Amino acid sequence: MQTFSGEYVWVHDQGRVYERDAQQQPLRMVGMVQDISAAKAQEVLLRRQASHDYLTDLLNRRAGYMHFRKQLSYAQRYGRQFSVSLIDLDHFKSINDTYGHQVGDQVLKHLVAGISAQLRQSDTLMRWGGEEFLLLLPNTDSDGAFQLVEQLRKRVAEQPMPLSDGEVQYTFSAGVASFPQHAEQMDMLIKAADDALYVAKSAGRNQVSVSDEVTGIAQGELSV
């Protein structure tokens, strides 16, 4: 309902007829209009909290799974390329131990902001758990996904998070897998990306690895 000031508010409207004429046509009624804007705002907030991570405001794992299924189903139905990347912040425990958990949270938000600024509107970054993120790249083959994630990796490595008395330098490692090249089902696609991430970590971190399409075992890619 529009108010006198021109704003719109949510209302709960109820009323009843309390007097009728001889033909039972209503003559008078009484009712009440209650402003429930605050309750509606709380409802929207709770709904968002159920699907989004409180710290980064990204889709959480539960909502991310649902979105992932829709994206992959679309790729399967129309024969489109579809890639995913598991991104893990390197040595995050050391950051927490050195600077404290509050700065660690700021680093996660800084990482998300830096990555999100470089993504296409169709791409989706979600928080997978802790310092791990899942990136969905529709209409993208493994080569294109590697180039994009490698570009993100370099940008993050070159842009430390500023502090009042210095800065926090950090990097990430990532694994890439693609449909239908590496796997055709969601769980197997995630596993392929996770295997590739393991290779990137084992090879020294701060690099991107792509799942091996022939053996199904991740193969490291050389990066600067």
Asked if residue 126 and residue 23 are part of one domain, the reply reads no
Share of the chain above pLDDT 70, in %: 93
Per-residue pLDDT at 216: 45
Nearest to 64 by CA among 76, 52, 75: 52
Indicate the pLDDT class of residue 212, thresholds 50, 70 and 90: confident
Asked if residue 212 and residue 112 are part of one domain, the reply reads yes
Asked if residue 122 and residue 27 are part of one domain, the reply reads no
CA atoms of 131 and 103, how far apart (whole Å): 13
**Catalytic sites, residue numbers:** 131
Q: How many domains, the chain?
A: 2
CA atoms of 64 and 172, how far apart (whole Å): 21
Per-residue pLDDT at 161: 96
Per-residue pLDDT at 42: 78
Please write the tens of the pLDDT for every residue from 14-47: 999 989 998 999 999 999 988 888 878 777 766 7
Burial of 91 (0-12, 13-18, 19+ CB in 10 A): middle
Per-residue pLDDT at 213: 55
Please write the tens of the pLDDT for every residue from 137-195: 999 999 999 999 999 999 999 999 999 999 999 999 999 999 999 989 999 999 999 99
Please write the tens of the pLDDT for every residue from 6-15: 889 999 999 9
**Does position 224 have pLDDT exceeding 50, yes or no?**
no
Asked if residue 37 and residue 123 are part of one domain, the reply reads no
**Secondary structure of residue 64 in the 3-state scheme:** helix
Asked if residue 40 and residue 63 are part of one domain, the reply reads no
Residues whose CB falls within 8 Å of the CB of residue 170, separated by 6 or more in sequence, listed in order? 89, 90, 91, 92, 95, 107, 111, 156, 160, 161
**Does position 222 have pLDDT exceeding 50, yes or no?**
no
Provide the whole-model pTM: 0.77
Residue 175 is part of which domain span?
Answer: 56-220
Per-residue tokens: 204: 């020294």
Q: Of the candidates 35, 51, 67, which is a domain's last residue?
A: 51
